[in-house]
Amino acid sequence: MGIRFRLFLLTLILFLPSACAYEVRDSTWDVSDFPISYWIDPAVATETEEGVGEQVIPELFDLWADLPSSKFDAVYQGMKPGFVASDGECHILWDDLGNDLFSPTAIAYTHAMNGRIHDVDIVFNTNIGWSERTLTTTGLHEIGHLIGLDHSTSRWAMMYATSTAEDLHWDDIEGITHLYPADNLSDLVGVRMLYPLYASSSSTGPMAAEIQNKGFPTAGSVEVTLYVSDTPEFGSTYLGKSEIPIEGPDPVTVTFPRVSFGTSVGPRYLGLSVDTQHQVFESNEENNLLVYELPIVPFEVNGDQDLNGRVDSRDLFQLVLQWQKKTSGIPELYRFDFGSKYWVVEEDLLGLLDRWHHPTLPPP
């Protein structure tokens, strides 16, 4: 599948619904404990391929700790052999956890009291050959347990029980943000998603956005502003504003009319901001702007036809609805009818469904 066709499909899939799937454990860290300290067993040098573990494990902690929406933080303190259970220290260890079909690859042992985590020890099974990839997929997952997350019901999340992902998913990010929200989110209502019903080279269909309470302290209303631009930067020009009542934690949907871009071909950016103080872009709300790129560009069908972006996504909408309704397996291929036939492999479609949830992820 050509990259331009992938980009266009990524644009069209923005109308799919989403829902939180992350789960949290009964115990969490007190934010006063951040940054938590952790040590790595010297066995990492022999138990991981070419000793990559000492480099990879801190990088995995940093993936969780560097998220701007969360207060979680952790600091690597160096090598330290052995450990004592519930000693107030977090250790990364290797031990024999069994070598049969039901043996775990790794376990995060959490020591907590009265709902507060005091330390977590992560033990990797010595019966497994730990490459950089296997260490990444398993380690990132176990650190999620160390943080206080349980298994997610989203098959694409890092915290899914049998995940083989190598990076955090939007659901993982929402989970850690829920547990330890950053200060600049404490008085914000968050933009959860923004999607057009369809998009073409010159316009979108009606658009909807979902606004989710992430800690707005009292019931009231917020100002929602929709922008459109040919660059990711948004100035004073906007398409519309709405006053949205917020009465609790349930998401609120707001709709906007269609947007016309003119006749030129090129990327367009939709921006949606939420203002809790009825001013413009306060410093504590600077991250509360959700931006989606609509790459309206020419693309190829069957490698030899160019429709110059004149494609309506309603056919794709029906296709995805059919995919969602299936209960007895998913066909390997899907047929798109855009004036000619184009077959899309299931794996490609699932990959696109995964990526649209998080606007900062690169295109496939």
- Read off the CATH number of the domain in which 194 is found: 2.60.40.10
212/123 same-domain check: no
Task: Domain count for the chain, please give it.
Answer: 2
158, 144 in Cβ contact below 8 A?
A: yes
For residues 246 and 220, the answer to whether their CB atoms sit within 8 Å is yes
φ/ψ region of 101 (left if φ > 0, alpha if ψ in -120 to 50, else beta) reads: alpha
The amino acid at 217: P
Instruction: Please tell me whether residues 273 and 201 are part of one structural domain.
Output: yes
Report how far residue 37's alpha carbon sits from residue 42's, in angstroms, rounded to the nearest whole number. 16
Specify whether 127 is located in the same domain as 229: no
Domain ranges, residue 287: 1-20+184-364
Same domain, 268 and 330: yes
Phi, psi of 172 (to 5 degrees): -65, -40
158, pLDDT greater than 60: yes
- Does residue 344 share a domain with residue 217? yes
Contacts with 19 (C-beta within 8 Å, 6 or more apart), sequence order? none
Residues 52 and 3 in one domain: no
The pLDDT of 306-310, averaged and rounded, is 34
Q: Is there a contact between 83 and 95 (Cβ–Cβ < 8 Å)?
A: no
Residue 25 lies in a domain: no
For residue 357, tell me if it sits in a domain. yes
Does residue 316 belong to any structural domain of this protein?
yes
Give the mean model confidence (pLDDT) for residues 336-355.
40
Measured distance between the N- and C-terminal CA atoms of the chain, rounded to whole angstroms:
10
Most distant CA pair in the chain, distance: 68
The rounded distance, in Å, linking the Cα atoms of 34 and 95 is 28
User: Percentage of the chain surpassing pLDDT 90?
Assistant: 31
pLDDT at 289: 54
CA dist., res. 153 & res. 151, Å (int)? 7
Report pLDDT for 113. 94
Report angle CA 115, 248, 171 to the nearest 5 degrees.
Answer: 60
Question: Residue 13 pLDDT > 60, yes or no?
Answer: no
Could you tell me if 71 and 13 lie in one domain? no
- Give the E-state strand segments of 100-219 in sequence order: 106-113, 116-125, 189-196, 207-213
- The closest alpha carbon to 126, from 39, 53, 37, belongs to 53
pLDDT of 300 higher than 90? no
- Domain termination site, one of 124, 148, 172: 148
What digits encode the pLDDT tens for the residues 72-95? Answer: 999 999 999 877 788 889 999 999
Range in 10-14, 168-172, 218-222, 349-353 with the lowest mean pLDDT: 10-14
